[in-house]
Chains A and B, each alone.
Chain A
C-alpha cells in the first residue's frame, strides 16, 4: 500500500481529498481538497472536480493536512561529526518527524562560517533529497567571538540566519555589529543566550534537584541576562534577534518586555522544555545523561511559564534543538557527557499530546508555532498552502497512539529521554515539493 501511495504521488497531478486542512496563514480550518500540480499547490477548495489524469488520494477522516513543518533549530553535525548524524540521516529523521524543512546550526567542524561550507551542506541536502535544508551561518569566524564571519557571502550562498549557537555571541560590541551588519541582508541573528561566567561549569538547572544530586547549577538568570542584553541591542540597532531554546521564566519576561517596546525579538521553545522538569535528573533514572542539555531542564515554574507563553502567543516558534550524540559519548559520568538530546522524531507527538490534547493551544495555533512562524522568522518559503506555493505538506494524525522507540528512529543517534513514552498524536506522511518523502505504515492511507 505504501508503494501504491508513493506511485500516486509520482503522477504529475494529484488531489488530496477530504482531509482537515489547517492553514492559518490563509484562514482555513475545515474539510478541503488540495490539488497539487507540478510540485506546487494548484488549488485548495471544497469538493474540487476530479479531472482526467489526476490521482486521487482519499484522506481518512481525522487526518490533518497542514503546511510543512519547519524545525528552525537542528544540528545535522555534517561536516565533521558524521558519527553523530549526517545531513542524510538528519533529514530522514526530519521527514519521519513530519518536518519538510530544517535550519541547521553552524557549529560543525569546520564551522559554517564561509560559503564553501554552506555549499557543502546544501550539496549533501540535495543528494539526500528529503527535507529542505536551510543552513545557518556563523556570526563570527570559527565561532570564536572575535571577528565577523563573511555574512553577506553566507547569505548569498543560502544561509537564512546567523548564529554562534552552542555559545552566545561573545561580546555586546560583536552582537551590536552583527545585528547592524546582518540587518542589511535581512538575516536574523539567532542567539544562544547564556552568560558564560554565570553558567561557569554548571551542568544542570540550579535548584533543589541539582543540589540533591551534587550537580553544579546553572541559574535561569544566566539565560535572561543575555536575552536582556540582546533585546537592548536589537532596539539600538533595529536588528532582528531570535532567542533560541528559551528555558527560563525570566527570559520569557524579558521577551515580553522587548515585544511590548516594539523591539524586533522573537523566541522559540523546545518540546523538552515544555514537557520535562529538573525532577528528571533524579528519577526514574538518576544521573541520566539523556536529560543533560543546555539550557538545562528547569523547574516547574519555568516549565509552566513556557506553556503559558505558548498559550498566550509570547512564544513564536517551537523548535527541537535536535542535538544528536553518539551513545559512547553519553555513556559517561554526567559531568563529562555532552549537552543535548535528539528531537526531530518526537516533537510532533509531544506537541499533540501536551499542547493540543491538553487544551493549551488549538491545532491552528500549533501550525503557526511549527510552520507559519518559523517561515516568517527565517523569511523562507513555506508556512502556507496558498495557490502557487511549493507543495510542502505535513499530514498529521492527531489521535494516533505513538510509542516512542529509539530502535525505529532514523536519526543516527538515540539520545532521547522519551524512549518508551506513549503519546497521542503523530505523523501520517510528509510531502516535499509534491513528492511524498515519508509514509508512516501505522497510518492507513487509502487510495
Chain B
C-alpha cells in the first residue's frame, strides 16, 4: 500500500482484499470484553475535521482507541477557515508536532492530496468534498461481502444525489474494480457528466435500476446544496426517486438496503425501508470501526525498520 489513503483510486485489487481481510480480524477485537490491543501504542493520530461529522469522526476515534493510539480531535468550524490560517499552514503546524497519522475531512475535493504532498505523516481521507470517501466504500464492500460472500457479478444499484456524492465515487471505483455490475440512478440534474466512463449503467428510472438488484445503496440528498434548481421539492423527490417498499419489491428477494448516513427519512428513503428487514444500515456503522482499524493498522502499524 502507498503511504497515504487518499482514495480508492490509489488502491489495487490486492490492497482492497488485504484491508477487507484485515478488517475481519479487527472486528473480533470489538467483540471482546476488553476491546483494546496495543498495536498503535505510542502512535499519535490527529483527526482534523473541517466539516461536521458525527459518524465518521466517532468511528475513527473508536478505531484509534481500540488500537491504543493517542488520539486528538481538531474540529475546525467553517467560519474560522475564512479568516484563519490556510489549510497548508494548519497542516504544517500539526506536522511540526510529529503525529504519525492525520485523518482529514474537508469540504474541498483534493484537500487530502494537498496535505499528502506537504506532510510526512500518513494522510487518511475521511471525505474530501465531492471527491472520495474511501473508508466508507471499504466498509460498504465489507458489509456486502459479509452478506453475499462475494462482490463479483452482483447487481448494485446506487440511487440518489450522484453529483455531489463522494460516497458514490469511491463506491463506483471499488465495486466496478471488484467486478460488480453497478447501476446508478437519480434525477438527470444530479447525474455527473461522463459518469458512464466509470463503467456503470445509468438510468433515471429507479425502478429499472433496482430491478433484480442484490444491493441497493441509497445516497443522501444534501438539502443544503439543492437550492431548488435540481428538483422542485422534497415531496416530489421522494415520490419519484425515494426508496419505498414497493420499489424494493422489484429487487432480488434477499436484497440488502444500505445508506451511508445521515439519513433523511421520507426524502431518499422511507422509514419502513430504513428500519425494515432488508436494511443493513447499522451493520455498516458497526463494520466501519473494524475497517478503519484495518486501515490504520496497515498504514501505521508496522514497527520502525519493518
Is there an interface contact between A206 and B193, defined as CB atoms closer than 8 Å? Answer: yes
**B108-120, CB under 8 A of A: which get 1 and which 0?**
1111011001000
Quick check: is A190 within 8 A (CB to CB) of the other chain? no
Say if the beta carbon of B130 comes within 8 Å of chain A.
yes
Known: A334-B109, A334-B110. A214 touches B194 (CB 8 A): no
- In the assembled complex, the CB of A227 is this many whole angstroms from the nearest CB of chain B, namely 21
Whether A335 contacts B108 by the Cβ 8 Å rule is: yes
- List residues of chain B with CB within 8 A of the CB of A257: none
Given contacts A333-B87, A335-B129, contact A215 B109 (CB under 8 A): yes
Tell me whether B169 is interfacial, beta carbon within 8 Å.
Answer: yes
Given A214-B130, A331-B88, A208:B194 Cβ within 8 A:
yes
- B188 CB–A CB distance under 8 Å: no
Chain A residue contacts of B169, Cβ below 8 A:
212, 214
Alpha-carbon distance between A332 and B192 when the two chains are bound, in angstroms: 25
Q: Is the CB of B110 within 8 A of A212?
A: no
Q: Which residues of A contact B (CB under 8 A)?
A: 206-217, 219, 285-287, 328, 331-336
Most chain A CB within a 10 A radius of its CB, from B86, B107, B169, B193 = B193
Q: How many residues of B sit at the interface, in one of the four size bands?
A: 20 to 34
CA distance A328 to B85 in the complex (A): 12
- A292 CB, nearest partner CB in chain B, Å: 10
- B194 close to A335 (CB less than 8 A): no
Interface flag for B106 (CB, 8 Å): yes
Tell me whether B195 is interfacial, beta carbon within 8 Å: yes
| Nearest-neighbor residue (CB-CB) of B9 within chain A | A212
Chain A residues with Cβ below 8 Å from B114 are: 287, 331-334
Judge whether B193 and A207 touch: CB under 8 Å. yes
Q: Name, among B86, B108, B111, B130, the residue most crowded by chain A CB atoms within 10 Å (CB to CB).
A: B108
Interface of B is mostly: mixed
CB-based contact A287/B110 at 8 Å: yes
Residue in A closest to B193 when the chains form the complex, CB atoms = A206
Known interface pairs A286-B113, A333-B111; 4 further A-B residue pairs with C-beta atoms within 8 A, sorted by A's residue number: A213-B110, A215-B109, A331-B114, A335-B129
CA distance A334 to B131 in the complex (A): 12
Contact A214 B129 (CB under 8 A): yes
Q: Is the CB of A214 within 8 A of B132?
A: yes
* Residues of chain A lying within 8 A (CB to CB) of residue B113: 286-287
- 6 CB-based A-B contacts, threshold 8 Å: A211-B192, A213-B109, A214-B129, A286-B6, A331-B114, A336-B108
Q: Does B197 touch A at the CB level, under 8 Å? A: yes
B231 lies within 8 A of chain A by Cβ: no
Residues of B within 8 A of A208 (CB): 193-195, 197
Contact of B86 among A213, A216, A217, A332 (CB under 8 A): A332
What residues of chain A lie closer than 8 Å to B111, measured between beta carbons?
Answer: 333
Measured between C-beta atoms, what is the minimum distance from A352 to chain B in Å?
32
Alpha-carbon distance A401/B110, docked complex (angstroms):
35
Asked if B220 is at the interface (CB within 8 A of a chain A CB), the reply is: no
Which residues of A sit under 8 angstroms from B9, Cβ to Cβ? 212
- Looking at A206, A287, A331, A334, the one whose CB has the most chain B CB atoms below 10 A away is A287
| Cα of A150 to Cα of B277 in the assembled complex, Å | 72
Q: Which residues of B contact A285 (CB under 8 A)?
A: 117
Q: Is B100's beta carbon under 8 Å from chain A?
A: no
